[in-house]
Amino acid sequence: MLEQRADRLWTHAESLRFAGVELGRIMTVIELSSGGLFVQSPAELTPALEAALDERGDVRFVAPASKLHGHLYMEQYATAYPDAELLAAPGLAARRPDLTFDHLLGDTPDPRWAPDIDQVAIVGHRWLTELAYFHRPSRTLVLGDVGFHIGSSSPLKTRLVARALRVYERVGPPVEFRLTIANAESFRRSIRDVLAWDFDRVIPGHGEIVETGGKRAVLEGFDWLR
Ligand SMILES: [Fe+2]
Protein backbone atom coordinates (compact mmCIF):
# COMPACT_ATOMS: atom_id res chain seq x y z
CA MET A 1 0.00 0.00 0.00
CA LEU A 2 2.78 2.39 0.96
CA GLU A 3 6.00 2.17 -0.98
CA GLN A 4 9.11 3.01 0.99
CA ARG A 5 11.27 5.53 -0.88
CA ALA A 6 13.77 6.36 1.84
CA ASP A 7 14.06 6.32 5.60
CA ARG A 8 10.78 7.79 6.95
CA LEU A 9 9.45 8.47 3.45
CA TRP A 10 6.70 6.59 1.61
CA THR A 11 4.50 7.16 -1.41
CA HIS A 12 1.22 5.75 -2.58
CA ALA A 13 0.02 6.07 -6.17
CA GLU A 14 -3.66 6.04 -6.97
CA SER A 15 -5.62 6.21 -10.18
CA LEU A 16 -7.01 9.57 -11.25
CA ARG A 17 -8.86 10.14 -14.49
CA PHE A 18 -9.13 13.68 -15.76
CA ALA A 19 -11.21 14.38 -18.88
CA GLY A 20 -11.05 10.70 -19.79
CA VAL A 21 -7.28 10.47 -19.42
CA GLU A 22 -5.57 8.40 -16.74
CA LEU A 23 -3.22 10.80 -14.99
CA GLY A 24 -2.65 9.08 -11.68
CA ARG A 25 -1.78 10.92 -8.54
CA ILE A 26 0.85 10.47 -5.85
CA MET A 27 0.45 10.80 -2.11
CA THR A 28 3.54 11.32 0.05
CA VAL A 29 3.87 10.25 3.69
CA ILE A 30 6.70 11.52 5.88
CA GLU A 31 7.41 10.35 9.41
CA LEU A 32 8.55 13.37 11.39
CA SER A 33 11.60 12.92 13.59
CA SER A 34 9.43 13.99 16.53
CA GLY A 35 7.05 11.14 15.69
CA GLY A 36 3.78 11.33 13.81
CA LEU A 37 3.05 11.39 10.13
CA PHE A 38 2.86 14.30 7.71
CA VAL A 39 0.59 13.29 4.83
CA GLN A 40 0.77 15.31 1.62
CA SER A 41 -1.93 15.02 -1.02
CA PRO A 42 -3.95 12.30 0.72
CA ALA A 43 -5.30 9.40 -1.31
CA GLU A 44 -8.66 7.79 -0.72
CA LEU A 45 -8.52 6.33 2.77
CA THR A 46 -9.34 2.71 2.05
CA PRO A 47 -9.17 0.23 4.96
CA ALA A 48 -5.89 -1.09 3.50
CA LEU A 49 -4.33 2.37 3.34
CA GLU A 50 -5.57 3.21 6.82
CA ALA A 51 -3.98 0.02 8.16
CA ALA A 52 -0.70 0.82 6.38
CA LEU A 53 -0.66 4.34 7.85
CA ASP A 54 -1.50 3.10 11.34
CA GLU A 55 1.41 0.70 11.15
CA ARG A 56 3.78 3.62 10.64
CA GLY A 57 2.48 6.13 13.13
CA ASP A 58 -0.18 8.65 14.05
CA VAL A 59 -1.39 10.92 11.27
CA ARG A 60 -0.61 14.39 12.63
CA PHE A 61 -0.81 16.69 9.60
CA VAL A 62 -2.71 16.43 6.32
CA ALA A 63 -1.43 18.84 3.69
CA PRO A 64 -2.50 19.74 0.15
CA ALA A 65 -0.34 21.05 -2.68
CA SER A 66 -2.85 23.74 -3.60
CA LYS A 67 -6.53 24.57 -3.55
CA LEU A 68 -6.86 22.17 -6.51
CA HIS A 69 -4.40 19.41 -5.81
CA GLY A 70 -4.34 17.25 -2.71
CA HIS A 71 -7.52 18.14 -0.83
CA LEU A 72 -9.67 15.26 -2.06
CA TYR A 73 -10.49 12.83 0.74
CA MET A 74 -9.37 15.22 3.50
CA GLU A 75 -12.79 14.73 5.09
CA GLN A 76 -12.04 11.02 5.43
CA TYR A 77 -8.82 11.81 7.30
CA ALA A 78 -10.61 14.31 9.55
CA THR A 79 -13.06 11.58 10.51
CA ALA A 80 -10.53 8.78 10.92
CA TYR A 81 -7.93 10.93 12.70
CA PRO A 82 -9.79 13.53 14.79
CA ASP A 83 -6.52 14.72 16.36
CA ALA A 84 -4.85 15.34 13.00
CA GLU A 85 -4.61 18.91 11.74
CA LEU A 86 -5.80 19.81 8.28
CA LEU A 87 -3.56 22.33 6.57
CA ALA A 88 -4.94 24.75 3.98
CA ALA A 89 -3.29 26.07 0.86
CA PRO A 90 -4.27 29.62 -0.16
CA GLY A 91 -7.87 29.57 -1.39
CA LEU A 92 -8.63 26.06 -0.17
CA ALA A 93 -10.75 27.01 2.86
CA ALA A 94 -13.18 28.80 0.53
CA ARG A 95 -13.40 25.75 -1.75
CA ARG A 96 -13.92 23.32 1.11
CA PRO A 97 -16.34 24.99 3.55
CA ASP A 98 -17.18 21.48 4.80
CA LEU A 99 -13.74 21.23 6.41
CA THR A 100 -12.20 22.94 9.41
CA PHE A 101 -8.60 23.89 8.75
CA ASP A 102 -6.10 24.38 11.54
CA HIS A 103 -3.40 26.23 9.68
CA LEU A 104 -2.86 28.24 6.49
CA LEU A 105 0.31 27.24 4.68
CA GLY A 106 2.71 29.92 3.50
CA ASP A 107 6.44 30.25 2.97
CA THR A 108 7.43 29.39 6.53
CA PRO A 109 7.21 25.85 7.83
CA ASP A 110 5.54 25.38 11.19
CA PRO A 111 8.08 24.66 13.98
CA ARG A 112 6.45 21.26 14.45
CA TRP A 113 7.54 20.01 11.01
CA ALA A 114 10.32 22.51 10.22
CA PRO A 115 13.11 20.23 11.53
CA ASP A 116 12.26 17.76 8.74
CA ILE A 117 10.28 19.63 6.10
CA ASP A 118 10.81 23.01 4.47
CA GLN A 119 8.25 24.61 2.20
CA VAL A 120 7.95 27.27 -0.49
CA ALA A 121 4.73 28.90 -1.66
CA ILE A 122 5.09 29.04 -5.43
CA VAL A 123 3.46 32.33 -6.40
CA GLY A 124 3.10 34.31 -9.59
CA HIS A 125 0.31 32.32 -11.25
CA ARG A 126 -2.91 34.22 -11.85
CA TRP A 127 -5.08 32.17 -9.52
CA LEU A 128 -3.12 29.28 -8.08
CA THR A 129 -0.53 29.19 -5.32
CA GLU A 130 1.11 25.82 -4.84
CA LEU A 131 3.10 24.56 -1.89
CA ALA A 132 6.35 22.78 -2.65
CA TYR A 133 7.82 20.70 0.16
CA PHE A 134 11.36 19.57 0.82
CA HIS A 135 12.02 16.55 3.03
CA ARG A 136 15.50 17.38 4.15
CA PRO A 137 16.67 13.99 5.53
CA SER A 138 15.90 12.17 2.27
CA ARG A 139 16.70 15.13 -0.02
CA THR A 140 13.26 14.83 -1.61
CA LEU A 141 11.24 17.54 -3.35
CA VAL A 142 7.46 17.03 -3.31
CA LEU A 143 5.33 18.88 -5.87
CA GLY A 144 1.73 18.96 -7.09
CA ASP A 145 0.54 20.36 -10.40
CA VAL A 146 3.67 22.46 -10.85
CA GLY A 147 5.40 19.11 -11.08
CA PHE A 148 3.86 16.81 -13.64
CA HIS A 149 6.22 14.12 -14.87
CA ILE A 150 4.47 11.72 -17.23
CA GLY A 151 6.73 8.95 -18.47
CA SER A 152 6.84 5.99 -20.79
CA SER A 153 4.98 3.71 -18.35
CA SER A 154 1.76 5.71 -18.88
CA PRO A 155 -0.95 4.58 -21.32
CA LEU A 156 -0.67 5.84 -24.90
CA LYS A 157 -3.48 8.37 -24.55
CA THR A 158 -1.87 9.83 -21.42
CA ARG A 159 1.48 10.09 -23.19
CA LEU A 160 -0.09 11.88 -26.15
CA VAL A 161 -1.88 14.36 -23.91
CA ALA A 162 1.30 14.83 -21.86
CA ARG A 163 3.24 15.63 -25.03
CA ALA A 164 0.65 18.23 -26.00
CA LEU A 165 0.81 19.71 -22.48
CA ARG A 166 4.64 19.58 -22.61
CA VAL A 167 4.93 17.44 -19.52
CA TYR A 168 6.04 14.23 -21.21
CA GLU A 169 9.33 13.10 -19.71
CA ARG A 170 9.86 16.49 -18.19
CA VAL A 171 9.12 17.90 -14.76
CA GLY A 172 6.91 20.96 -14.81
CA PRO A 173 3.42 22.38 -15.07
CA PRO A 174 1.14 21.85 -18.09
CA VAL A 175 1.56 24.46 -20.78
CA GLU A 176 -1.72 26.23 -19.97
CA PHE A 177 -0.40 26.87 -16.46
CA ARG A 178 2.67 28.48 -17.97
CA LEU A 179 0.47 30.70 -20.12
CA THR A 180 -1.49 31.93 -17.11
CA ILE A 181 1.47 33.05 -15.06
CA ALA A 182 0.68 36.64 -14.19
CA ASN A 183 3.94 37.62 -12.56
CA ALA A 184 6.88 35.85 -14.17
CA GLU A 185 9.42 37.43 -11.85
CA SER A 186 7.60 36.14 -8.74
CA PHE A 187 7.21 32.71 -10.27
CA ARG A 188 10.89 32.64 -11.26
CA ARG A 189 11.88 33.63 -7.73
CA SER A 190 9.72 30.83 -6.28
CA ILE A 191 11.33 28.23 -8.54
CA ARG A 192 14.73 29.64 -7.64
CA ASP A 193 13.86 29.10 -3.97
CA VAL A 194 12.89 25.50 -4.76
CA LEU A 195 16.13 24.95 -6.66
CA ALA A 196 18.09 26.29 -3.69
CA TRP A 197 17.16 23.12 -1.79
CA ASP A 198 19.64 20.28 -1.93
CA PHE A 199 17.24 17.67 -3.34
CA ASP A 200 17.96 14.64 -5.46
CA ARG A 201 14.58 12.83 -5.59
CA VAL A 202 11.45 14.48 -7.00
CA ILE A 203 7.93 13.28 -6.24
CA PRO A 204 5.61 14.88 -8.80
CA GLY A 205 1.89 15.30 -8.25
CA HIS A 206 1.20 13.23 -11.36
CA GLY A 207 3.44 10.79 -13.16
CA GLU A 208 6.72 9.12 -12.36
CA ILE A 209 9.01 9.71 -9.42
CA VAL A 210 12.54 10.87 -10.24
CA GLU A 211 14.59 8.77 -7.85
CA THR A 212 17.90 10.49 -8.52
CA GLY A 213 19.13 13.41 -10.60
CA GLY A 214 16.03 15.38 -9.65
CA LYS A 215 17.82 18.72 -9.49
CA ARG A 216 18.85 18.48 -13.13
CA ALA A 217 15.35 17.27 -14.09
CA VAL A 218 13.78 20.35 -12.52
CA LEU A 219 16.37 22.68 -14.08
CA GLU A 220 15.62 21.19 -17.50
CA GLY A 221 11.88 21.09 -16.90
CA PHE A 222 11.84 24.80 -16.16
CA ASP A 223 14.28 25.88 -18.89
CA TRP A 224 11.45 27.90 -20.49
CA LEU A 225 11.60 30.25 -17.51
CA ARG A 226 15.06 31.49 -18.38
FE1 LIG B 1 -3.17 17.72 -9.74
Report the distance separating Cα 42 and Cα 72, nearest Å: 7
Report the distance separating Cα 154 and Cα 143, nearest Å: 19
174 CA distance to ligand 1 middle (Å): 10
68 CA distance to ligand 1 middle (Å): 7
Is 26:206 a contact under the CB 8 Å cutoff?
yes
Q: What domains are defined for the chain?
A: 3-225 (3.60.15.10)
Per-run averaged pLDDT (10 residues), the chain, 226 residues: 97 93 96 97 98 98 98 97 98 98 97 98 98 98 98 95 96 96 98 98 98 98 93
pLDDT of residue 192: 98
Is 188:195 a contact under the CB 8 Å cutoff?
no
What are the contacts of 51-56 at 24+ separation with CB within 8 A?
51/1, 52/1, 52/2, 52/12, 53/2, 53/29, 56/2, 56/10, 56/29, 56/31
pLDDT of residue 155: 94
Residue 6: in which H helix or E strand, if any?
Answer: strand 3-6
pLDDT in tens, 84-106: 999 999 999 999 999 999 999 99
pLDDT of residue 18: 86
149: which strand partners?
207
The SS3 call for residue 64 is coil
**How far lies 59's CA from each of 15, 107, 144, 217, in Å?**
22, 22, 20, 31
18 CA distance to ligand 1 middle (Å): 9
148 CA distance to ligand 1 middle (Å): 8
Report the distance separating Cα 179 and Cα 220, nearest Å: 18
pLDDT of residue 85: 98
222 CA distance to ligand 1 middle (Å): 18
Report the distance separating Cα 206 and Cα 66, nearest Å: 14
41 CA distance to ligand 1 middle (Å): 9
pLDDT of residue 8: 98
**How far lies 193's CA from each of 15, 117, 214, in Å?**
31, 14, 15
206 CA distance to ligand 1 middle (Å): 6
137 CA distance to ligand 1 middle (Å): 25
202 CA distance to ligand 1 middle (Å): 15
